[in-house]
Amino acid sequence: MTNVFLGLGGNMGDRREMMRSAVAGIRRVLDDVAVSSLYESAAWGVTEQPAFLNAVARGRTSLEPVELLDAMQAIEHDLGRVRERHWGPRVIDIDILLYGSEVINEPRLQVPHPYMSQRGFVLRPLADLAAGLTLPDGSLVGELLTTVDQNDLRRIEGPGWADPSHD
């Protein structure tokens, strides 16, 4: 089994419900799932769009990396994701941030996620789950977090937000 970290985000529709539905889908694919607190952040890349909700999920899988990518894209599709514009608005986005300590550079999949070390909305929830984690390049998640802008990042809810019994 391989430990994986997934970044979740969305800024369309009922954002919180989409995030909860994505976590429910992830729990059907991964074992031992833990989820960070829920955060709101301004859009990154294409900034003229609604704010995003973001979180990170950690779990364990026996799937190969591309099989995991296919499973995450199937969850996105089932939740209504339509890929129209790069970095544009979306109901849900599930990115593979880390797949064990592997470095993967394939046309469909780059791991570690190529922009994760630049994004506070990824590093903050990742640090909730694993601040002491060493990335494949030797950097520490907690140290990277001190190098990114977090001014537009706001914690919305604690780690229990994605639990089915939580409301």
**pLDDT digit string (tens) for 8-43?**
999 888 889 989 999 999 999 999 999 999 999 887
**85 noted as active-site residue:** no
**70 noted as active-site residue:** no
Q: What total number of domains does the chain contain?
A: 1
**81 noted as active-site residue:** yes
Q: Is residue 69 one of the residues assigned to a domain?
A: yes
Catalytic residue among 15, 20, 58, 95: 95
Residue 83: CATH number of its domain: 3.30.70.560
Residue 144 structural domain: 2-162
Please tell me the pTM assigned to this model. 0.90
Q: Is residue 147 one of the residues assigned to a domain?
A: yes
Q: Is residue 167 one of the residues assigned to a domain?
A: no
**90 noted as active-site residue:** yes
Q: Is residue 96 one of the residues assigned to a domain?
A: yes
Spatial CB neighbours of 143, under 8 Å, sequence gap ≥ 6: none
pLDDT digits (tens, 9 = 90+) for 92-123: 889 999 999 999 999 889 999 888 888 888 99
State how far the Cα of 120 lies from the Cα of 136, in Å rounded to an integer: 19
Amino acid at 23: V
